Amino acid sequence: MDILDSIVIGAGQAGLSTSYHLRRLGIPHAVLDADDAPGGAWRHRWDALTMQDVHGVAELPGAVPPPRTTERANRAVPAYFSAYERAHDLPVLRPVHVDRVTDDDGILVVHAAEGTWRSRTLVNATGTWTHPFLPHYPGMETFLGEQFHTVDYPGPERFRGKRVLVVGGGASAVQFLGALAPITDVLWATRRPPVWRTDDFTPEAGAAAVALVEQRVAQGLAPQSVVSVTGLMLRPQEQEAARLGVYDARRPMFQRIEPDGVRWADGSFEHVDAILWATGFRPAIAHLAPLHLRSERGGIQLDHGGRGTTAVKDPRIQLVGYGPSASTIGANRAGRTAARGVRQFLARAPIAADVR
Ligand SMILES: Cc1cc2nc3c(=O)[nH]c(=O)nc-3n(C[C@H](O)[C@H](O)[C@H](O)COP(=O)(O)OP(=O)(O)OC[C@H]3O[C@@H](n4cnc5c(N)ncnc54)[C@H](O)[C@@H]3O)c2cc1C
C-alpha cells in the first residue's frame, strides 16, 4: 500500500485551508471527509440561519469571503466550499468516516469502513459538530415534552406558541432566545451568569480572547470555546427579545427535570413544553485515542504555547480547528501553520527506503 506524506481528516474550513497550503508546498496528501458533500458543519446548520445571522464566515485562503446575504448559511457556505474544492482541485475523498488512527512502526494507519490509508503525517480537522455535549440532569429521561440540542434545532417555527426553556450561556443560546422570544413563551437557564460585552469587539479584544484559550491548550487542558471567553453581545436580531426582557430573566440551572417541566432549587416548579439544550460541543477526536495524545489534564497539548498546531506528544500530528483555532478565521490560519508543521516534520524525518 502506498504511503502518503500527509492525510487530512475533515474537509471543513480547517481541512480545506490545510489542503490548500499542503498543495502550495507540494506535499502529496489526501483529505478524508465523512460527509457526502462539501460544506463541513455548515451543511447541517438549521434552515433559519442566514448569512446575515452568522457572526461572519472568514474567506478561505486565496478566495474572497462568502457574501452576507439573506441566503441560508447551510446552502451558501457548502456552495462556497464546493467551488473552492473544484477551483483548487483539492484531493477530497468522501464519504470516508475515519474510525481510528493507529501507529504501525512509525507509519500512521487511518482506518475507515471505506478503506485504509497509510501516511507519514496527519492533520486532524474534524471540528466539533459531530460531538454535541449534552449534560445530564436527574429526571431527564422522564420528560414528556420535546428536547433538542443545537445540533438538531429545527428553527423557531416548531416552537410557536409553546413554553420553551433554553439552556446554555453561549452565543447559540442568545441567538435562539432572540428568534424564539417574539413567538413563544421562553425561559433561559445557565450554569453561570452570562458575561456581556458592552464595548466594541475589536481585533485586539478578539486576540486577547484567543490567547486565553491558547493558554489552556498550552497546558494540555481541554479547550474552552473561544466565544466563552469573548463575552456575549446582542445584535440587532436580538433587540426585540431584549425589549421583552428574556435576557434579564435568566435563571440559574434547575435541580431536576420532571415529566412536565423543571424543578428549581427553591422547590418551585415551572411547566415547559420543550427544552432546547444550547450546551455546546466537544472536539471530535475519539478516532485519535489509539495514539494517546491526551495529557493527563484531559486535552491535547499543542506547541508554541498553544499557538501552534503540532501535538507536543507526537510531532507527526497537527490539530486544526481545535481550541484557539475553532473559528473560521482561526481555522484558516491554523491550516497554514499545520502545512508548515507537516513540511518541517517531513524534512527532519529520514525517509526509509522500504516505505517509498
Ligand atoms: C451554530 C454555530 C455557528 C457558528 N458561527 C460561526 C461564525 O459565524 N463565524 C465563525 O468564524 N465561526 C462560527 N462558528 C464556529 C465555526 O463554524 C467553526 O469553528 C468552523 O466552521 C469549524 O470548521 P472546522 O473545519 O474545524 O470543522 P467542521 O466544519 O465541523 O468540519 C469538520 C469536517 O470533518 C468531518 N469529520 C468529522 N469527523 C470525521 C471523521 N471521523 N472522519 C472523517 N471526517 C470527519 C466532518 O464531516 C466535517 O466535514 C459557529 C459554530 C456553530 C456551532
Using the atom order of ligand 1, give the atom closest to the CA of residue 98.
Answer: 42
Do 145 and 120 lie in one domain? The reply is no
CA separation for the pair 288, 101 (Å, rounded): 6
Ligand 1 atom at minimal distance to the Cα of residue 57: 9
b/e per residue 268-288 (b: at least 16 CB within 10 A)? eebebbbbbbbbbbebbbebb
In a domain, 173, yes or no: yes
Q: Name 142's Cβ contacts closer than 8 Å, sequence gap at least 6.
A: 257, 258, 259
Domain that holds residue 148: 140-196+232-277
Instruction: Give me the pLDDT at residue 128, please.
Output: 96
* pLDDT score of 355: 42
User: Is residue 83, in this structure, part of any structural domain at all?
Assistant: yes
pLDDT digits (tens, 9 = 90+) for 163-173: 999 999 998 99
Q: Is the CB of 125 under 6 A from ligand 1?
A: yes
Residue 108: strand pairing partners:
103, 119
Distance CA 313, CA 354 (A): 26
Provide the grid cell at 277.
Answer: 439544550
What phi and psi, each to the nearest 5 degrees, are found at residue 26? 75, 30
What is the helix (H) or strand (E) element at residue 163, kind and residue range?
strand 163-167
Cβ atoms 76, 66 nearer than 8 A: yes
Within-domain flag for 224: no
Beta strands 3-9 and 29-32: pairing type?
parallel
Cα-to-centroid distance, 22 and ligand 1 (Å) = 20
Q: Which of 36, 114, 130, 288 to mutate to test the pocket of ligand 1 (most atoms within 8 A of CB)?
A: 130
> Does 285 share its domain with 335?
yes
318 and 244 within one domain: no
| Straight-line distance from the first to the last Cα atom of the chain, in angstroms, rounded to the nearest whole number | 10
Give the pLDDT confidence score for residue 200 in this predicted structure.
Answer: 67
Would you say residue 214 lies in a domain? no
On whether both 184 and 298 belong to a single domain, the answer is no
Same domain, 102 and 144: no
286 and 273, same structural domain?
A: no
Q: What is the pTM of this model?
A: 0.93
Note whether residue 213 is domain-resident: no
Residue with CA at minimum distance from ligand 1 atom 25: 12
Give the separation between CA 181 and CA 146, rounded to whole angstroms: 18
Q: Is the CB of 32 under 6 A from ligand 1?
A: yes
Over its C-alpha atoms, the chain yields an Rg (Å, rounded) of 22
Contact 103, 109 (CB under 8 A): yes
CA distance 72 to 49: 6
What nine digits make up the cell of 255? Answer: 435541580
Q: DSSP 3-state helix, strand, coil percentages of the chain (rounded to 5)?
A: 35, 25, 45
Q: Is 41 near ligand 1, meaning CB less than 6 Å away?
A: yes
Q: Is there a single domain that holds both residue 55 and residue 98?
A: yes
Helix axis angle for 73-87 and 13-24, nearest 10°, is 10
Ranges of residues in the chain with a pLDDT under 50 are 352-356
**Bridging pattern class, strands 310-311 and 314-319:** antiparallel
Whole-number Å distance between alpha carbons of 103 and 85: 29
Do both 38 and 146 map to the same domain? Answer: no
Of ligand 1's listed atoms, the one at least distance from the Cα of 33 is: 44
333 inside domain: yes
Give residue-wise pLDDT tens across range 318-328. Answer: 999 998 888 88
For a ligand 1 pocket test, name from 31, 54, 333, 336 the mutation site with the most ligand atoms within 8 angstroms of its C-beta.
Answer: 54
Which atom of ligand 1 is nearest the CA belonging to 328? 11
What's the confidence (pLDDT) of residue 350? 62
Task: Give the separation between CA 38 and CA 85, rounded to whole angstroms.
Answer: 8
Together in a domain, 251 and 318:
no
- Domain end residue (candidates: 277, 302, 330): 277
CATH code of the domain covering residue 103: 3.50.50.60
- Check whether residue 167 and residue 91 sit in a common domain: no
Query: What single DSSP character describes residue 72?
Result: B
User: Could you give the strand order of the β-sheet that contains 261-263, starting from the edge strand earlier in sequence?
Assistant: 256-258, 261-263, 269-271
Query: Do residues 114 and 23 share a domain?
Result: yes
CB 42 within 8 A of CB 73: yes
Domain boundary, last residue among 250, 277, 304: 277
Q: Which of 277, 298, 330 is the last residue of a domain?
A: 277
Residue 310 falls inside a structural domain: yes
Q: With respect to residue 218, please indicate whether it lies within any of the assigned structural domains.
A: no
Kindly state whether residues 341 and 328 are assigned to the same domain.
yes
> Going by C-beta distance under 8 Å and a sequence separation of 6 or more, which residues neighbour residue 351?
none
Number of domains the chain is built from: 2
